[in-house]
Each structure stands twice: as structure tokens, then as C-alpha cells.
Amino acid sequence: MTGNHPLDTTANLHDAIAECFQSVAKHPSARHWCVALSGGPDSTALLHALAALAPHHKARLTALIVNHNLRTEARDEAEAVAKQCDKHGIDAVTLTVTAQPPKTAIQEWARDNRYALLCSYARAHAGMLWLAHHHGDQVETTAMRLAHDSGLLGLSAMTPVSQRQDVIMLRPYLHLSKQALIDYCHDRDLSFISDPSNHKQQFERVRWRNLLLSEPELSTALGSLSQLASRYRSVIDTSISAFIAQAAHWDNDHLTLHLRRDAVLQLSKNAQIHLFRQLIGVIGHAQYRPSFDAVSRLLAPLPEQGQVTLGRTIIKFRPAFIDILPEAGRPHDPILLKAGDNIVYQGRFIVKSSHDCQLLPMSQSRLSAFSEDNPYRAALMAYPPELRMIFPYPSALDERAVTTHIKTNMLECDMTSSDAAQPLVLIKPIYDAMAQFSKDASSHKSGSSLIGEQSLE
């Protein structure tokens, strides 16, 4: 058995799950546990442990198997994993990546497509997503981020509880060694498979994994660094939550954060930079937060008036307030949305349709083309002019009219009750992280993350 954490024993894998689940047990998605299952020892151990605990929490369990379509054997392997689930009486769903892989950065492409499918399923079925990342994965992530000049926050890597695209994500085994999970499987005679891509040297993560296995002292040092960075991140999160509760107001009707200028001026320059990096990242929904240098230039000195754009946000400086709101999205080709599916549009909206349709960038001409009694137009006109352009423009494939509504809760919407011949599109803004920032800092729990799953580099 390896590892130094007191829970790093096969006997306590269930305790690790209970500890991780505690802070989200009252969330609406807590009664449906979706588990990302590759068929390897890590996810197999997690699935087995969750299967034992799900009845106690009255939770439905679904194993999600992703076929990346990168190898000819992938389909057969997915079917074999699904059969193992059936053998143990566990519902399994296979999700298939249909996009064509790129020539380079295949693992990053596979990860992005995997998460898109997993989160889409969890959202559609009101579930939370369990992931089997362990201590070795954590150290590898820290090493990779350090090699790419990540900031200190980025070195904290993954957190046990986080949120990605409106889905609660749980990683209960970040403190456990891979060997602990393998032992768990062996002790219970659970069969598992090995992904051959885990041994291909062309992948950066594999190269780091082999190096860390050969240099245990380096692995230990990186693990300690990640823990220190996590504590630092927790302090930053809590401090920002406290500041927001006292000196800011989130206007959900206008998707805008209003910061009191006098309160910002009372912060040190470094604290201002941290504050704006975090808030710009949450409101802008960019893949990466702006650099320290970019934010430092923005705030040196703090402008009294004017408007700038940074990290997909608009920042308005006024005598009494500083407003941060989303910037209009970038132009793009039509995005196909199949009937019944849900997708994330530009990181900002969850979009679901009752019929096949396409999403186009909003424009002033498209907005003007709506009839006066169109409900989507009425909803958009309630936003400031610059915010109307961040929303998608849904269009039926045969150019039929599309009835579109902006909703705050997809779970309350019944799309089957609409006119069967009339396409219905629902759009939900993703700003739950901002709502979390607005809560009192005392409600923040160590180990959870207010800053979501975006990269912190």
C-alpha cells in the first residue's frame, strides 16, 4: 500500500466518498449519481463503492462509458465494460464522440469531448458526476501546469468538489494512491482493463507519469506543493466571497456584477489583481483567466471612468461603481443542436431543443427580424444593448419559426407539452459560480471550489 494520507487504505474508500458527498448532499442533483467509467481499476473501484452506498442515499446510479472513436477496438471495449455493469445490475450508457480528431493535441481533444458528453448527459438527467482521479493524477496535473508556467493557483490542480457547465463534479479519491484502488479491485475480485494509450510516450501526461514513477522524491515534493497551493486557493476563494458579500451586488437580471469603487480602493494592489482575475474568469467564461500582467495594467492606476474589454468581459469604470459584464461572443459557423440534446453555447448558456435546429451568432439584424410579440425578443430587450449580443440565435433547419425562452431552471421545463410541430428552444445562463461568490463567506467549505473547472493558468 502506498501514500501518506490517513484514508489511503482500501477499507476507507467508502469513507472518502461520504466525506466528499457531504457538502453537496442537498443539491437537486444529489439523487442521481453519474459515474465516468473507463473500465480501468480507478473508475471500477469508484463505481463498485458507489453502488454499495447509493441505496443508503436513495440515489440512482448510472455508469457513463465514453467511446472516443480513436481506435478500431474502442467500440468492442465499451461494449465489454457495459456488459460488466449489466453483470452487477448497474445501468450503463455508452456515449460516443462523433467529431473527427485533430492531428495534434489528441488527448486534450479527447478530454474536452469526453467532458462535453458526460456533462450533457448529467444535465439532461439531473445528475451529478463522479470522477475517479487519484493522487497520481493530481501530481501529474501539477507537474504539467508547473512546466507550462502556471500561476500558484493553477498548481492546486483538481479539487474534490467543483462545478463545470452547471454540473456538480465529485472527485473523492484525490488523496488516494492508484495502488489503493487496484488493491480494492483485487480484494473484491473486480475485473478491469488497461487503456493502451496510457503507455504511449507521445502524450505529455504519460511522459510525466513515467518520470514521476522513477523519481518518487519529485512526486512527493509536487504533491506537497499542490496541497500548499490548494490551501492558498481556499484562502483566496473565502476572501473573495467575503468581499463580494460586503462590497458587491450580482444583478442576475442583467448578468452584471457591480463592485463598490471605494471598497476596491481599500484593497492592496495584489488583492485587487487576484479579485479581478477571479471575477473576470467567472463572468467571462474564458478557458483561461487573464494574466497577472494584463490585470495589473488594467488597474494601474484604477481608472475613474471609461470602458475596457478583457477576458471576454466588459469592465465599466464609474465614479462610484465598477461593473463587470460578459462581452459579446465571437462569430462562428452554424452549430447543430439535435432534438432532445443539450449543449453549452460559448461557455455561457445551456441550450436545449425539442427539434433539430442550429445556433447562429446573434446580430442586430437578426434581433430586429423578430416580431414584436416574439417571447425571445421580449426577454432580450430587457437586457442592456451590449448584453443582447451574447445570446445565441436559434433557427430551425428548414427555417421554420423557433419559439425560444430564457429559463433559470431547466429541471422545471417540460418540452413534451409544447406543440409537436413547433420547435421549442430553452436557454439557461450559466452563472451559478457567480451566485456562489455572492454567498456569505462563512458558507464556503474547505476543499470545494468557487472558481469552477476552468484552467487557472
The CATH number of the domain holding residue 320 is 3.30.465
61 with 158, same domain: the answer is yes
**Weakest mean pLDDT among 149-158, 191-200, 357-366:** 191-200
In a domain, residue 380? The reply is yes
Residue type, 211: L
In a domain, residue 247? The reply is yes
160 with 18, same domain: the answer is yes
Q: What is the pTM of this model?
A: 0.84
Please name the helix (run of DSSP H) or strand (run of DSSP E) that holds residue 313, with its range, or none. strand 313-317
Q: What is the mean pLDDT of the chain?
A: 85
Please determine, for residue 415, whether its predicted confidence score (pLDDT) is greater than 90. no
In a domain, residue 226? The reply is no
Q: How confident is the model at residue 207 (pLDDT cuts 50, 70, 90)?
A: confident
Q: How confident is the model at residue 443 (pLDDT cuts 50, 70, 90)?
A: very low
**Weakest mean pLDDT among 211-220, 288-297, 418-427:** 418-427
Mean local confidence (pLDDT), 350-359:
92
Please name the helix (run of DSSP H) or strand (run of DSSP E) that holds residue 308, with its range, or none. strand 306-310
20 with 117, same domain: the answer is yes
Which of the listed residues 158, 185, 214 is the one where a domain comes to its end? 214
d(CA 172, CA 175): 8
Per-residue confidence (pLDDT) for residue 71, from 0 to 100: 85
157 with 110, same domain: the answer is yes
46 with 150, same domain: the answer is yes
Burial string for 316-349 (b: 16+ CB within 10 Å, else e) reads: bbeeebbbbbbbbbeeeeebebeeeebbbbbebb
252 with 353, same domain: the answer is no
Which pLDDT tens digit goes with each residue over 363-377?
Answer: 999 998 888 889 999
In a domain, residue 283? The reply is yes
Distances in whole angstroms, Cα of residue 295 to Cα of each of 240, 291, 306:
16, 6, 16
Which pLDDT tens digit goes with each residue over 250-265?
Answer: 888 788 999 999 999 9
Residue type, 29: S
In a domain, residue 56? The reply is yes
More confident residue, 444 or 291: 291
In a domain, residue 399? The reply is yes
Per-residue confidence (pLDDT) for residue 356, from 0 to 100: 92
Which pLDDT tens digit goes with each residue over 121-145?
Answer: 999 999 999 999 999 999 988 888 8
Tell me the backbone φ, ψ of residue 88, rounded to 5 degrees. Answer: -100, 10
Percent composition of the chain: helix, strand, coil (DSSP 3-state, to 5): 45, 20, 35
In a domain, residue 240? The reply is yes
350 with 270, same domain: the answer is no
Cβ-Cβ contacts under 8 Å for 75 (sequence gap 6 or more): 67, 69
Mean local confidence (pLDDT), 8-22:
81
Q: Which residue has the cell 433557427?
A: 395
Containing structural domain, residue 92? 10-214
**Weakest mean pLDDT among 172-186, 210-224, 312-326, 373-387:** 210-224
59 with 201, same domain: the answer is yes
Domain count, the chain: 3
d(CA 138, CA 98): 29
14 with 118, same domain: the answer is yes
Q: What is the DSSP string of 220-287?
A: HHHHHHHHHHHHHHHHHHHHHHHHHHHHEEEETTTTEEEEEHHHHHTS-HHHHHHHHHHHHHHHH--S
CB atoms closer than 10 angstroms to residue 89 = 8
Residue type, 262: D
201 with 72, same domain: the answer is yes
321 with 344, same domain: the answer is no
180 with 54, same domain: the answer is yes
Contact call for residues 373 and 351 (beta carbons, < 8 A)? no
Please name the helix (run of DSSP H) or strand (run of DSSP E) that holds residue 376, with its range, or none. helix 375-381
Per-residue confidence (pLDDT) for residue 5, from 0 to 100: 45
CATH of the domain at 135: 3.40.50.620
Which of 195, 131, 139, 167 lies closest to 24 in space, CA to CA?
Answer: 167
Tell me the backbone φ, ψ of residue 16, rounded to 5 degrees. Answer: -65, -40
Please determine, for residue 44, whether its predicted confidence score (pLDDT) is greater than 60. yes
Which of 383, 348, 353, 352 lies closest to 367 in space, CA to CA?
Answer: 383
**Weakest mean pLDDT among 315-319, 432-436, 445-449:** 445-449
Q: Is the peptide bond before 301 cis (omega within 30 degrees of 0)?
A: yes
More confident residue, 434 or 52: 52
Q: Which residue has the cell 477571479?
A: 278
In a domain, residue 5? The reply is no
Burial string for 361-380 (b: 16+ CB within 10 Å, else e) reads: bbeeeebeebeeebebbebb
Beta-bridge partners for 399: none
